[in-house]
Amino acid sequence: MKEWIKAQYRNGCTGFVFIGDIPAAWMKVSDSTFPCDLFYMDVDGEWSDKDGDGVYDSHTAGEGDMGPEVYVGRLYASTLKYGREEDLINDYLRKIHEYRVGNLTQRWGGLEYIDEDWYSMDVHLDEIYDGNVTRYDYGYRTTAEDYLDKLCQGWHFVQVCAHSYPGGHYFGTRPTEAVCYTHVYVYSPCNRTAKLLVGCDDGVKIWLNGEEILFKNRLGEWIPDQFKVTVNLRKGWNRLLCKISQEGGKYQFSARFTDENLNPIKDLDYQVNNPETHGRMPEFIRSWLLNGFYEDKPERFYSYLNTNYLGVDEATVQPEEGEYMGGKQWVRYDSGDPYIDLDRYYDGIDYGVTYAYTSIISDREQTCQLWLGYDDGMRAWLNGEEILFDNRYGGFEVDMVKINVTLHEGENHLLLKVSEWMGAHGFAARFATPSGEPVDGLTYVLEPSPITYIGTWLVNGVYENPDIDSRLLVD
């Protein structure tokens, strides 16, 4: 096929449409393999399959260059189930002919459907359609369902900018041209002067107990602790409301309280529910011994939780900091955040599991619940008894599982085993009463470090506003 295209190119052809299931060339890129019609379009470049496995692994300029000399399109219907392939193809070709001779018409106009990663890209459809172009780039609303709806509105041409793979498109939902709100209750055991340290991308407006304390209407990247403001925390509960603006690209925000010398404050507590109606919420376990990461093959994902990587009875392990099991060391991990971010700790590694252990001291035998959230799956043991086996693939949700447990008087041993496919990897855990109150009489052998950055917020939004000057000003 490639030689035939070269011959037609030498005879003056500038492009080709493949009708039917014409073979595709496959190209290896990093650790993935993709169909690549650039193989046909680049008639003077050099493509090589060094290991002879039928997949090209090298593309160089050869005697020409690496760019396309001809265009290649594909038209096939073998995967469609609502008609015979030849009938569907012929019907499509008939419609093309009717359009060209003027019997079918379509309004002159284009749609630029821009997913959030391409928000800042200028597609230039106006150079074809002048002012008859609609650009849709609200990143929080660019979804697969919305894209299909827009396709049915009768466009002459649609340019979609989104992450894609051989099987389709992938749409993200990161906000653009918008604001959102975050809120948290902050408990202080005394009246005190403190510092609030804030980082944001893009701008921010903040109120403490109803008083505006910070306003930065800006465009710029997130820098931790970039803005510092002196505040007064009341004894008891305080209300912290933040409004964060976003133009495009990354959307990030961080906040933390320190003393006047920028040291962490050890006795502050945080919760999202109103303490007047919900009381005080149970605290998350933020200090753990970690053992991992144990890499495995992607195709064995649903076997990860059944595989013993430690080499000892998982149910009964009671490790000490620095001890080796499974060829890896148990390392203490202190988090200022309720979410234990294993993906960040292990530098984004995929396909495998991590173990996490903690020891709980109860002043009496008592029944309560263990609330867990995790990404992806989890297996859990308490005092040698398996209390959870959730062999799943899916994202994190806080308190997604609530398990009835019994804590013995004295020391109790909790082991978690968290599986990972790709992307985010982590968990959060806390003990609570069935009604959501703290469990009395609990301490931890690994005493938690002070909370640094506020890790749990109640979020509201997003609210789109294309006017950058008024985003933070409009309620």
Token representation of residue 382: 């308490």
Strand stretches in 189-251, DSSP E: 192-201, 204-208, 211-216, 227-233, 236-246
On the question of pLDDT at 4 being above 90, the answer is: yes
The arithmetic mean of pLDDT across residues 451-470, rounded, is: 92
Q: Alpha-carbon distance 445 to 285, whole Å?
A: 11
Greater pLDDT, 211 or 266:
211
Q: What is the CATH number of the domain that holds 361?
A: 2.60.120.380
- Together in a domain, 330 and 348: yes
- Together in a domain, 412 and 354: yes
- Together in a domain, 435 and 317: yes
pLDDT value of residue 120:
86
Q: How confident is the model at residue 361 (pLDDT cuts 50, 70, 90)?
A: very high
Query: Is 401 part of any domain?
Result: yes
Greater pLDDT, 415 or 78:
415
Closest CA to 227 of 218, 238, 239: 218
Count of domains observed in the chain: 4
Q: How confident is the model at residue 449 (pLDDT cuts 50, 70, 90)?
A: confident
Q: Alpha-carbon distance 65 to 46, whole Å?
A: 8
Query: Is 6 part of any domain?
Result: yes
Q: How confident is the model at residue 249 (pLDDT cuts 50, 70, 90)?
A: confident
pLDDT value of residue 173:
83
Token representation of residue 439: 């469990």
Q: What is the pLDDT of residues 100-145, one digit of tens each?
A: 999 999 889 999 999 988 888 899 999 999 999 999 998 888 999 9
- Together in a domain, 368 and 252: no
φ/ψ of 11, rounded to 5, equals: -90, 5
- Together in a domain, 91 and 66: yes
pLDDT value of residue 246:
94
Query: Is 229 part of any domain?
Result: yes
Q: How confident is the model at residue 74 (pLDDT cuts 50, 70, 90)?
A: very high
- Together in a domain, 191 and 145: no
Domain of residue 305 covers 284-444
Arithmetic mean of pLDDT over the chain: 94
Looking at 78, 101, 124, the residue that finishes a domain is 101
Q: What is the pLDDT of residues 150-200, one digit of tens each?
A: 999 989 999 999 998 777 888 888 899 999 999 999 999 999 999 999 999
Q: What is the pLDDT of residues 260-279, one digit of tens each?
A: 999 999 899 999 999 999 88
Inter-residue contact 460 to 242 (CB < 8 Å): no
Q: What is the CATH number of the domain that holds 58?
A: 3.40.50
- Together in a domain, 351 and 402: yes
- Together in a domain, 119 and 252: no
- Together in a domain, 356 and 401: yes
Sort strands 331-334 and 324-325 into parallel, antiparallel or unpaired. Answer: unpaired
Query: Is 245 part of any domain?
Result: yes
The arithmetic mean of pLDDT across residues 296-318, rounded, is: 96
On the question of pLDDT at 31 being above 80, the answer is: no
Looking at 101, 126, 145, the residue that finishes a domain is 101
Q: Alpha-carbon distance 349 to 343, whole Å?
A: 7
Q: Alpha-carbon distance 199 to 221, whole Å?
A: 9
Looking at 169, 192, 218, the residue that finishes a domain is 169
Closest CA to 395 of 375, 416, 372: 375
- Together in a domain, 70 and 199: no
φ/ψ of 133, rounded to 5, equals: -130, 135
Map tokens 């109103």 to a residue: 274
Q: Alpha-carbon distance 425 to 419, whole Å?
A: 8
Peptide bond into 186 cis (omega under 30): no
Share of the chain above pLDDT 90, in %: 86
Q: Alpha-carbon distance 345 to 347, whole Å?
A: 6
Query: Is 187 part of any domain?
Result: yes
- Count of other CB atoms within 10 angstroms of residue 92: 13
pLDDT value of residue 77:
87
Query: Is 190 part of any domain?
Result: yes
Query: Is 273 part of any domain?
Result: no
Query: Is 348 part of any domain?
Result: yes
Greater pLDDT, 452 or 245:
245
- Together in a domain, 324 and 436: yes
- Together in a domain, 192 and 89: no
